[in-house]
Amino acid sequence: MRVSTKGRYALRMMIDLAEHQNDGYIALKDIAERQGISKKYLEQIVAIFHPSGILHASRGSQGGYRLSKSPSLCTVGEILRLTEGSLAPVACADTEPAACSRSLDCPSLPVWKGLAKVINEYLDGITLQDILDQKCEQGKSGYII
C-alpha cells in the first residue's frame, strides 16, 4: 500500500485544522502558506471531504474550514479512506467475501486479509489529537539555546 500525495496532503491539512481549531474558520490560503501546499490542491481535497461531513465550511470574508468534530474523534484511517479509498494492500482483501474466483482455494488470502486488518487497526488507532500530543511532547524534549 502506498499513500498518494493527496492522502499525505489531506492529513497535513487536517492536522493544521486541528492545531488551529480554537481560531474559528481557517482559510485555505492560510493552510496552504503554513503547509507549503498549493491552495488549488487543497480545494480538491476539501471537495473530497465535503460529502463526508468531516469539515464545516463558512463563506465570506471570515470564512474557511474547521473540523466538524473533536480531533480526538478523527482518525488517520478515516482521513486516508476518504482520499485513498480502500487501504487494503490487494483488491481481494477489500471485500467480504473476497471477490475473487480463487478465494476459496487461495493460500495467500489470509496473509492479505491479515495485513489489511493490521493497517486498518493501526491507522484507526491514531487520532489527530494523538498527533498533536506527540508533536507537543517532541517540542518539550528539545533543547532551546
pTM above 0.95, yes or no: no
What residues contact residue 13 under an 8 Å CB cut-off, 6+ apart? 31, 35, 37, 42, 45
Grid cell of 138 as nine digits: 517532541
Query: How many other CB atoms are found less than 10 A from the CB of residue 113?
Result: 19
Contact 103, 109 (CB under 8 A): yes
d(Cα 116, Cα 91) in Å, to the nearest integer?
Answer: 10
What confidence score (pLDDT) does residue 102 get? Answer: 80
Angle at 92 between CA 88 and CA 96, to 5 degrees: 90
Domain locations along the chain: 5-141
Q: What percent of the residues of the chain are helix, what percent strand, and what percent coil, each to the nearest 5?
A: 60, 10, 30
pLDDT, one tens digit per residue, over 17-67 is: 999 999 999 999 999 999 999 999 999 999 999 899 999 999 988 889 999
Does the pLDDT at position 141 exceed 70?
Answer: no
**Where would I find the H helices in 55-127?**
76-84, 109-124
What confidence score (pLDDT) does residue 103 get? Answer: 75
**Half-sphere exposure (CA, 13 Å, Cβ side) for 3?**
16
3-state secondary structure of 46: helix
pLDDT, one tens digit per residue, over 92-135 is: 888 776 667 787 788 988 899 999 999 999 999 999 999 999 98
E-strand ranges in the chain read: 55-58, 64-67
Q: Tell me which fold the domain 5-141 belongs to.
A: Arc Repressor Mutant, subunit A (1.10.10)
Nearest-CA neighbor of 91 among 61, 66, 112? 112
